């Protein structure tokens, strides 16, 4: 299926590694132009080497998303260079373990800035471009928004809010032809997830316990599978879809756990 994404310029926050990098590569392979917004210079350099090898036209902007003016500057830089922005993937975030027992008001607010506030900031800055292009916003949520996790109040609050913002923005922007959807991953093997596993005394044993609870194939979801859903939602092939929460999780959340 041709997704008609050729020359479409898409902002991807946290786009230098993990799910964000997979989306950038998938978009580029469809002929789109990923605009990677990230604060990790080394990760940007590594991804760019791959993008150059595949002759994928792209732009990378080093940005601190928690700084409002820096976020707006990054969006304007992309808009001025290409004259258009056709899509936005709000992907950046960190499960930072700011809980109720082991946290503080200051750390909780910081967690919201890291995981939620920039979704609003970037989306608002990109909105004039998206209205002109009748573009698409894809918000990356998490199973934690639905299942809870414990010990991560800031991240859970942010991801729950992202689901509600998706519905709110879809309604608010429908008159402009701008669509807004959320992807809800569960267990995806990213560099962040790998680092979390390493905290356990027996990482392989812990991973086996997790995948045993995933009904479809008893395996982790691949970043490329999340990317495939993202670029479909960015494309005009999904013009009838807005305000939706799409679960790409191997049935982890909604299928009866006894199947595992």
List active site positions.
Answer: 155
Q: How far, in Å, are 11, 49, 52, 93 from residue 21 at the CA level?
A: 12, 12, 14, 14
Gap between the Cα atoms of 256 and 93, Å rounded:
29
- Say which residues have a Cβ less than 8 Å from residue 47's Cβ, sequence separation at least 6: 15, 16, 17, 21, 24, 25, 36, 60
Residue 127: closest CA among 167, 168, 75: 75
N- to C-terminal Cα distance for the chain?
Answer: 33
- Say which residues have a Cβ less than 8 Å from residue 227's Cβ, sequence separation at least 6: 19, 22, 23, 25, 26, 27
92 near 239, Cβ under 8 Å?
no
Residue 12: closest CA among 125, 117, 92: 92
- In the sheet with 136-140, reading across from the earlier edge strand, the strands are 59-62, 33-38, 9-13, 87-90, 136-140, 179-185, 245-248
Instruction: Enter the tokens of residue 49.
Output: 């080497």
SS3 assignment, position 221: strand
């Amino acid at each position: 299926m041709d997704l008609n994404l050729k020359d479409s310029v898409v902002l991807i926050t946290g786009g230098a590694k993990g799910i964000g990098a997979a989306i950038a590569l998938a978009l580029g392979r469809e002929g789109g132009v990923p605009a990677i917004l990230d604060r990790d210079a080394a990760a940007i350099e590594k991804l760019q080497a791959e993008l150059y090898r595949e002759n994928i036209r792209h732009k990378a902007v080093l940005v601190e998303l928690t700084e409002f003016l820096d976020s707006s500057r990054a969006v304007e830089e992309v808009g001025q260079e290409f004259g258009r922005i056709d899509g936005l993937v709000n992907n950046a975030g960190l499960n930072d373990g700011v809980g109720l027992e082991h946290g503080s008001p200051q750390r909780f607010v910081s967690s919201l800035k890291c995981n939620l506030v920039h979704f609003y900031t970037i989306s608002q800055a990109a909105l004039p471009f998206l209205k002109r292009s009748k573009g698409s916003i894809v918000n990356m949520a998490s199973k934690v928004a639905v299942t809870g996790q414990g010990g991560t109040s800031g991240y859970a609050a942010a991801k729950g809010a992202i689901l509600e913002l998706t519905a709110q923005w879809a309604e608010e922007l429908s008159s402009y032809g701008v669509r807004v959807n959320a992807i809800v991953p569960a267990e995806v093997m990213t560099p962040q997830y790998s680092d979390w596993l390493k905290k356990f005394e027996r990482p392989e044993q812990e991973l086996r316990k997790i995948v045993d609870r995933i009904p479809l194939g008893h395996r982790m979801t691949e970043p490329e599978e999340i990317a495939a859903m993202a670029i479909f939602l960015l494309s005009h092939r999904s013009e009838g879809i807005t305000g939706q929460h799409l679960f790409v999780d191997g049935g982890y959340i909604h299928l009866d756990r006894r199947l595992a």
